[in-house]
């Protein structure tokens, strides 16, 4: 079962794609008119757009909440083919139901007359065939949009459309490097395949706290995930809330992990903030990349967690103007030398209230 935040996020995406269906309905109506011009005299654009919006919402909802994950284990081309086939059947059924309801409400003749009109004047007309072809094209576009949006995550696709990072930008951001504790020994105990399944469950379980606190998933690196926020006081609190909530989720699901993997993962984090350069790099495979000493420092802080015997370590730069966070306590560790840096970094440990 998907979490509430993931559900709302997907619902938001489905609603936006449905709006695209409405916009395309205007083009498709005139495409149909090119086949049968008399359609314009008997169909209102508002009804046509409303029908497209409802059908689009139904089709995209089924795609986003059911079909998208149902065939994830199959090759991409086969997954697309099966999803298109089921989608085609779905909007055929929905379209027929809508048209039948329209004729039942508006038609006052006998059932035999209705059946004759329904089949001869609707289903067996060139305009209905064009309608189905247009819907098929739009359904295919919707499937691709869902895949692209999932690939780049919340806000990623809109950044591409707007060209936000086509030129490098200087941004002040918070970063969390999160790593599973004792990952090497756990991997040796479970084996590669079972350990990979545990990683999938772990990252899926912490997705809800990430989205609940507005975090951006920057990248996955093996058993590590890098998260980012814009550097604001509100987001500083949010990133600490994420750590507390993610820890609580793992405690809540401890019995499930023990049953499936005979161990429950815990994690350590390094937290730091500062300026980075953000932009897309690559020619045949583009990625949004953050570059700068801020990321190197965050990685070094995370690597110090085990040595310092603290699970959650953050920097003095992160705590700037943020001395009293809610629901946690902060204690100073001291000035620590980090590998690759000339100056020592002032580090702190964070503890969360029960």
Q: What is the secondary structure of 319-350 as a DSSP string?
A: TTT----TTEEEEEEEEEPPTT-SS-EEEEEE
d(CA 331, CA 313): 10
Looking at residue 43, what is its pLDDT?
A: 54
d(CA 352, CA 312): 10
d(CA 91, CA 166): 38
Q: Which residues of the chain have pLDDT under 70?
A: 1-3, 5, 27-48, 69, 72-73, 91, 95, 98-99, 102-103, 106-111, 114, 117-118, 121-123, 125, 127, 153-154, 157, 323-324, 340, 354
For 4-65, give the DSSP string.
HHHHHHHHHHHHHHHHHHHHHHHHHHHHHHTT-TTHHHH--HHHHHHHHHHHHHHHHHHIII
Say if residue 221 is exposed, middle or buried (CB neighbours under 10 Å; 0-12, 13-18, 19+).
exposed
162 with 280: CB under 8 angstroms? no
Looking at residue 63, what is its pLDDT?
A: 76
d(CA 133, CA 92): 11
d(CA 332, CA 139): 55
Name 267's bridge partners: 180
Name 334's bridge partners: 347
Say if residue 25 is exposed, middle or buried (CB neighbours under 10 Å; 0-12, 13-18, 19+).
buried
d(CA 193, CA 93): 41
In the chain, what are the domains? 4-152 (no CATH), 167-352 (3.30.70.1230)
Helix (H) or strand (E) holding 195: helix 192-205
Looking at residue 60, what is its pLDDT?
A: 79
Looking at residue 95, what is its pLDDT?
A: 65
Say if residue 313 is exposed, middle or buried (CB neighbours under 10 Å; 0-12, 13-18, 19+).
buried
Tokens representing 258 are 């023990």
318: Cβ–Cβ under 8 A, 6 or more apart, which residues? 174, 236, 271, 272, 273
**pLDDT tens sequence across 236-249:** 999 999 999 999 99
Helix (H) or strand (E) holding 289: strand 287-291
**pLDDT tens sequence across 5-53:** 677 777 878 887 877 777 777 766 666 655 455 544 555 666 667 777 7
d(CA 24, CA 160): 21
């Amino acid at each position: 079962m998907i979490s509430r935040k993931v559900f709302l996020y997907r619902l938001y995406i489905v609603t936006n794609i449905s709006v695209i269906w409405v916009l395309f309905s205007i083009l498709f109506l005139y495409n149909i008119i090119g086949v049968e011009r008399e359609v314009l005299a008997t169909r209102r654009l508002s009804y046509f757009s409303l029908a497209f919006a409802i059908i689009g919402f139904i089709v995209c909802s089924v795609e986003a909440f059911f079909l998208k994950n149902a065939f994830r284990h199959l090759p991409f081309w086969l997954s697309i083919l099966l999803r298109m086939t089921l989608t085609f059947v779905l909007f055929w059924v929905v379209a027929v139901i809508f048209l039948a309801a329209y004729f039942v409400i508006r038609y006052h003749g006998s059932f035999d007359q209705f059946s004759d009109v329904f089949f001869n004047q609707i289903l067996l007309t060139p305009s209905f065939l064009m309608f189905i072809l247009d819907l098929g094209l739009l359904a295919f576009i919707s499937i691709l949009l869902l895949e692209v949006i999932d690939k780049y995550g919340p806000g990623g696709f809109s950044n591409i459309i707007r060209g936000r990072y086509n030129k490098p930008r200087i941004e002040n951001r918070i970063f969390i490097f999160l790593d599973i504790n004792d990952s090497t020994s756990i991997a040796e105990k479970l084996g590669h395949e079972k350990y990979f399944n545990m990683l999938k469950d772990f990252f899926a379980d912490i997705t809800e706290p990430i989205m609940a606190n507005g975090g951006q998933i920057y990248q996955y690196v093996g058993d590590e995930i890098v998260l980012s926020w814009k550097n604001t006081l509100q987001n500083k609190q949010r990133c600490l809330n994420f750590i507390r909530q993610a820890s609580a989720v793992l405690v809540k699901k401890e019995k499930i992990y023990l049953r499936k993997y005979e161990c429950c993962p815990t994690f350590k984090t390094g937290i730091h903030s500062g300026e980075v350069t953000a932009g897309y790099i690559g020619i045949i495979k583009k990625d949004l990349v953050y570059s700068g000493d801020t990321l190197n420092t965050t990685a070094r802080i995370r690597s110090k967690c085990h040595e310092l015997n603290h699970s959650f370590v953050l920097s003095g730069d992160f705590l700037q103007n943020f001395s009293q966070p809610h629901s946690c306590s902060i204690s100073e560790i001291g000035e620590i030398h980090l590998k690759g840096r000339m100056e020592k970094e002032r580090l702190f440990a964070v503890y969360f209230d029960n």
